[in-house]
Structure 1
């Protein structure tokens, strides 16, 4: 009886213990809640149908004789289109001046030089063209300009009169009765020695006879040989010295400028200004009638820096004899005390009963160059 009771007690104690152990077991971990789903509303974009834009590149048309210019531009022009018109007009204006000059002068090299002289004098734009009309059609705008012929003729005429026809210009008006410069055939037998050793006849028209000399309102009568300062200068042929500036003194800069202002007022270079001021320290050689049949010839060597003591008027000189040294006397840099622009200016004057002329006067530039190459060939 006691044993049965004890057994029941042990059984109950086991049940209670088991229940207590079960109650002490940790609970399973809590599951984290999933984040809520956020729904973002996106604005609906309505894409319109793209309309293609027609791009019109600026186009310019010029007539063959430069009389008219037409521009084709977009109907809605902007600053860039206006710049295109301005630049095109400036560029074509230069071409129109050259075209008109070439039509009159008939020497491409000379007409280019005269055009450059005009452009130098008119640093601002020359209004060669005047507005004619503007019309639109669809996406395009058409603008038309016409050459201002009356203005151009008025602008160019003084330059043509001064530089355009050198064959018609007398270099010593007081002594000209029948102006007739010698043709190429007249000097077909002429042969000379180069006035400087190892120098060459320049090809640039600006350095040859007939080129405009705007600074003195005159025409270039000789050849500019660009050699170093102090290069020996020699006689091109046998002859007699008729001028040798042994004791040369450079003139003041302001005095030279005053004389050039007078030349501008006259519209040509006075002979006294040219002979006594602008050529600087010089040597003149008389070759008599020996070089060119029926013409007395005189060679001129200008802008020297030194004349040898033995070179005096009346003295004989031989072909190739050194007479002095090159320099820049008579030029603006020389009046300012510098040696800039040193070169030898050489020319050959031809005289007959009708007047005085310079070698190459009025000749076509290319023919002149070829003839000078022949004359100075060994």
Structure 2
């Protein structure tokens, strides 16, 4: 008999073994769920037998990041991972990466099983896996799968990029183009506050917040505020498509007039933007990033310039905000928008799902 654990589905952030972790994960290490539609193909729940190390939980199996792995406990008990799609669906492939650990393959064999009348039935077995395994497991119509990793001795098992697929399309996790980005500010803290996440209402301008607000970063003194001295970096390589080098700050009266108008009228065109001084980067894979409220722009930046991941593009600021109009530094931060295939990330996600997605997204 199998005890099925059903948990609200949200995706767990994968922190790479080598990734820079700057805050606690938003996810449970052993069992959680992924619900990133439309940014992922489907929703699913997952559970694993054990987790051996902090930041190396089961979430790392589904992040499409080549540098992050799930680590089991060091015991002689069999390990396993259960994937539950909630309802039957077509599946015909399985993929997994198993690195070398202590001079041998980290997992010596595995079995793919389906749950049939409360019993696990093995449908595929790989007795000699390599690092990158791509298996055709038959054309199946099922909802719950288990990957069984048998053990004959006490040891730690390690795996990553576990995928159930249909015609090589990943059904369990995010697309590779939506992971591996760096944080725009060194040691920046992904916000907890829902008001600083995409989808939050903005009544003062009759609109919706469409980005992440980075107000804080980690330092040797703990969490500190972002200042106008903090550099802003390209989160990924791409081409600059907008650069506001000729930006002129609003006066206090202009700010008040635009705020008053927007509170009672729909915004149909933006000529003076609360986003202030901006740079937009097209990452040439359907992803675009927009950096708002900059206090300055790096002199080398120009439209059409190709920038590298991690290249400095400007400084944090408060341009476009009331503090800028009053010529002070109030509410200095970076507002970062991520657009995928023409829509901003977070539009159809809950705040919790959005946090989890961005922990996958920022896994350099």
Q: Give the TM-score, by structure 2 length.
A: 0.49
Which structure has the highest helix share of the two? 1
Which structure has the highest strand share of the two? 2
Q: Which has the larger radius of gyration?
A: 1
Q: Give the TM-score, by structure 1 length.
A: 0.47
